[in-house]
Chains A and B, each alone.
Chain A
Amino acid sequence: MSTSESSNYTPDIPSEPITRTTEEIHIELTPNALDSLSATRFVRSPSAGATVLFIGTTRDTFNDMPVSSLAYTSYTPLAMSTLYSIASSMLSKHQLTKIAIVHKLGECPIGEESIVIAVSAPHRQAAWRAGEEALEEAKKRVEIWKLEKFEGGEGVWRANRDGVMGVKADEGKDEKAATKVT
């Protein structure tokens, strides 16, 4: 079975940002470059003494293999609802003031932002913890997939889950590449 067209895999991505925003929560999946400043502005509040911003950028290597490009695809309606549920649970668990989570879809050039998480809370401890936990939960659960294309053209679907194999996108059959949590 040939699955070679997948080395040119172009994910089915929305052409406009998909957002869900309430007073305290902003969730966004977007084909556009991420705007960390606008996420920060969203969470900033006079009642919050601490704002924590996490910016995840795409790395140029995986296990020392040079990565030439990355693309994210998602099951958008489900990913939106999972992100929203993570955000609301962080909000109540850590008594945050506000939280914003924004993820890139489609091609993401090396070194550019793929995820932005901004949280605000009355005090810094809660903000630090919530920022970290929101990221870990997102990496574990949100229905988004990263295709890493290595120099030479080969693509690998990454898996964040520890011990799970990544599948070469242009083989999909017998060859598998080990992946591990970053």
Chain B
Amino acid sequence: MAPAKAPSGHFSILYFAAASTLTTKSNEHLPAPLEARHLFAKLEEKYPGIKEKVLSSCAVTVNLEYVDIDTEDAEQADLVIKEGDEVAIIPPVSSG
């Protein structure tokens, strides 16, 4: 289940549901550190269109905690994603 540990200087990012469809992968490693507020821009660069189609309705977790990074004045706007962190893109859920 858990992806391979990120190599040094990288963090892991997990994609679920629509996010995994659009990226065509369930996880990958990206260079760390990365300011969390730049995460969506970074992903948009890598996967053009992902922001509007997927990320706009997604939440983000870092090390299993939800973080609020989407807006300029977000509470955790200064958060930095560090080497070895596990980030996840969480689309709207559909259990049951």
Contact = CB atoms under 8 A, between A and B. Distances in A.
Interface of A: 1-3, 5-6, 9, 12-14, 56, 72-79, 81, 103, 114-115, 135, 138-147, 157-161, 164-165, 167, 169-170, 172-173, 182
Interface of B: 1, 14, 16-18, 20-22, 24, 26, 47-49, 53-54, 57, 61, 64, 88, 90-96
A9 to B, nearest CB: 7
Nearest to B24: A3
Given A139-B96, A159-B92, 20 more contacts: A5-B24, A6-B20, A56-B96, A72-B95, A73-B16, A78-B90, A114-B96, A115-B95, A139-B94, A142-B93, A144-B94, A146-B96, A147-B17, A157-B18, A160-B92, A161-B93, A164-B92, A165-B57, A167-B91, A173-B49
12 contacts: A1-B22, A1-B48, A73-B16, A75-B61, A78-B90, A139-B94, A157-B17, A159-B93, A159-B94, A160-B92, A164-B92, A167-B91
Given A73-B16, A76-B1, A145-B17, A167 B53 contact: yes
